[in-house]
Chain A
Amino acid sequence: MENKAIICKDLTKQFGDFKAVDKITFDVDQGEIFGFLGANGAGKTTAMRILCGLSYPTSGEATVAGFNVYKEQELIKKNIGYMSQKFSLYDNLTILENIEFYGGVYGVSRAEIKARSADLVHTLGLEKEAKKLVGELPLGWKQKLAFSVAIFHRPKIVFLDEPTGGVDPITRRQFWDMIYEAAASNITVFVTTHYMDEAEYCNRISIMVDGKVEAMDSPTNLKQRFNTHSMDEVFYQLARGAKRSGD
């Protein structure tokens, strides 16, 4: 139990008659990079909202970073980081102001913020830009910065929502280098995406179809099992029969 970052058992979320998430069971190791995949409308967003402490499940059990999703939402929020491609940083604040803000939100002490942000800016090679507005940075840098900010308070788990859609291949690699590094320092990385090429970087992935987890394994094993060379094809075979669609 100690080294599990996320444990889900029969987790269900029902809206009226509609089972958005239908008895999903899985667990994620501490320090693992876990890909959470699904077609549009398969229920990944709903499941992730529960795991982030933003909504209550209808039934089933789940703990995130050791905390119960029913009773300890606030503790969950303190122990996770979150980054999405759509929203991450304030464009009209400088790099340092953004870091300061997020550090403050997560209750990192002033002295710590100062020390860590100097460190962070140095590692990213952004010393010259530290006092520039984030809006002026190229997209790739913004994303790298956003990830650094998401793990700034040293969370146990970081949730990434389609983190690298649309960035150039080199920036994407640099981004994944950072994710590997975070995982190596024992942060669990939970990636939701519907881009298969993003999924291939994960240690293990699960694929949701119509509210259920239909497959869960390493990318290599999945490809073997479905007798194909691309994750796209694996996903296609699984999701083709999906009844639900929509955003």
Chain B
Amino acid sequence: MKQLFAFIRKEFYHVFRDRRTLLILFGFPIVQILLFGFALSSEVKNIGVAIQDNAHDVNSSEIINRIQKSSYFKVKEEIVSYSDVERRFKDGSIRCAIIFPVNFGQDLYRKEGSRIQILADASDPNTATIAVNYLTAIIRAYQQDLNPNRTLSYQIVPQLRQLYNEEQNGSLNFIPGVIALIFMIVSTALTSVAVVREKELGTMEILLVSPFKPILVLIAKAIPYLVLSLINFIIILLLAVFLLNVEIRGSLVLIFAESILFIITCLSLGLLISNVTDSQQTAMLISMMGMMLPTLLLTGFMFPLENMPSIFQVISHIVPSRYYYAIIKAVMLKGLGFGYVWKETLILAGMAVVLLSIALKRFKIRL
């Protein structure tokens, strides 16, 4: 027992004396949270819009005024010719353009109604759709305000409500994903590198020749990273709650328990990788390519799984983070209890047991 403690203490020395490890450990989660929380927001803001107002009447000015006030758009200086519009699309200064015809205001009161042209840069279809929708909404609202009394006889007004994230807070969705990603990096990548480093250094030879039980080497390596992962987890939660105003709805105990389970799965993976590699670079590469990319791509937090070709959907079933992501999303964002996530938990637990036993069994007591 004393030996194990000595070993664990030594592991912490390694971690705290290596700037790179520290940076990955604590810099990475913070950067991720800030990146996803602020920079990589999927909401659309400040879309560049150009206006060619040929009418110059009350109505067109009012619409322009409303667009200007909206935080979604940034109105660029007025333009005069169509070729000008095209030039600006090409140089990327605008994403959409609105063209008012000469008789816009007058036509408004005719039977045929008046027309307005909206152009959008669909090279980025998501933004284009969103921009067009916003613009249409602004125009429709203006139309409503113009004659509030004139209601059409048959009208369906859909009442929309986006559940679980009513403010459309983009950060909610990625938090469980970032947590999964960070566990993968800390528990899988750093652990495998830590074991392989002993092989590279040659200290593994000395440790094997010592009376210290080889299995304990693995355990002593895993424990510090379990602790560090949990610390990381707490940091992320704190950042999410206090910086990004995420509300945690489910049971914290359940979230922690599930997280520990996932960390153990990741650690087992890391130990397994360290068994089959002899150099730190290889270990890092396998962890990154083999574990992080699937986590990014196949858990559903960046790209919806439903839209993927079926082959990827099948593959995603063997990615542990997929289940963890589902669990955390359910518990943290929807406030669901264990009854709803037992299936995923069971799969994850199964994976952990299988991976850990392979890792322990494959650990060589000789070189």
Are A and B in contact, CB atoms below 8 Å, in the complex?
A: no
A contacts, CB < 8 Å to B: none
B contacts, CB < 8 Å to A: none
